[in-house]
Amino acid sequence: SAIAEEGGAVIVRCAGGDVHACDRMILTVPLPLLREIALPAGARAKLAAVDDIGFGNVIKILLRFARPWWRERKEDLADMTFLLSDEAIPVWWTRYPDQHPVLTGWFGGPRTAELESLDARALIDAGLGSLAAIFGLPRDHIARELVASAATNWAHDPFARGAYSWATPRTRAAQAILARGDGSVLFSGEALYRGRDMGTVEAALASGLETADMILRGQ
Ligand SMILES: Cc1cc2nc3c(=O)[nH]c(=O)nc-3n(C[C@H](O)[C@H](O)[C@H](O)COP(=O)(O)OP(=O)(O)OC[C@H]3O[C@@H](n4cnc5c(N)ncnc54)[C@H](O)[C@@H]3O)c2cc1C
């Protein structure tokens, strides 16, 4: 919850009361959470740059069925991977070439705010409704085959507050400010990656390695 410079050390105070001391630290929380942590003045001054990095949301729905009903329905869907539609939950993918009867629903971007009020159960219902409309089947036919389900609106996750970042025309300049090696608190994570694919695990790892390397080289 708070990071402070005290007597030449960096002190990290946790919400549960733990206190840790170190020489320097790397902060890798998602962008929306950066402003919720008390920071030393030098690190806080860099935070205005966060506004120039895009950060979006994703809703993800996982449905496991008793049978791969979509494969049985039409032979030409046997090797279906991605399915794009205009339904409330617009994007779906299978596990192909794995044969597990699982469909994953995905909805990303600003319009996820329209589903803000839906909890996991209601998101799963919305997913079943979308599949029924896409395949022209009664909703009950699909719901009967459902054996397990989960849904997450990542904006509701208190430690994520959304899904991943994206670059705006001002993002490279913002990243250069946030990734500077000065001060006791260094920023890292997928949003700070200056290569092509922000918003990925690879980006997070590359950014972390770059920052750690900067510390080891004494910069
Ligand atoms: C639905 C979804 C699907 C994705 N699919 C893919 C994919 O297929 N391939 C891919 O490469 N990437 C994917 N990503 C993106 C990938 O997950 C992220 O880019 C990556 O996890 C970012 O790593 P990070 O270390 O920067 O941040 P995170 O993984 O978000 O880690 C930040 C950590 O900070 C912690 N934290 C937050 N607040 C605090 C606090 N106050 N104190 C201490 N800790 C805190 C969080 O709990 C979290 O563990 C997906 C993301 C989502 C949401």
The answer to whether 87 and 135 are in contact (CB under 8 A) is no
Ligand 1 centroid distance, CA of 133 (Å): 32
User: What would the pLDDT profile of 51-76 be if each residue is shown by its tens digit?
Assistant: 999 999 999 999 999 999 998 876 67
Structural domains for the chain = 2-50+168-216 (3.50.50.60), 58-156 (3.90.660.10)
At 119, is the pLDDT very low, low, confident or very high (cuts 50, 70, 90)? very high
Identify the residue whose tokens are 């206190």: 19
What pLDDT does 77 receive?
84
Pocket of ligand 1, beta carbon within 6 A: 28-30, 33, 37, 58, 60, 154, 159-160, 163-164, 189-190, 199-202, 204
Containing 93, the helix (H) or strand (E) segment is: strand 91-93
State percent of the chain over pLDDT 70: 98
Which atom of ligand 1 lies at the shortest distance from residue 201's CA?
Answer: 11
For residue 165, pLDDT beyond 90: yes
| Average pLDDT, integer, range 196-211 | 94
- What is the pTM for the complete model shown? 0.91
Cis link prior to 90 (omega < 30° from 0)?
Answer: no
| Average pLDDT, integer, range 72-98 | 90
For residue 168, pLDDT beyond 80: yes
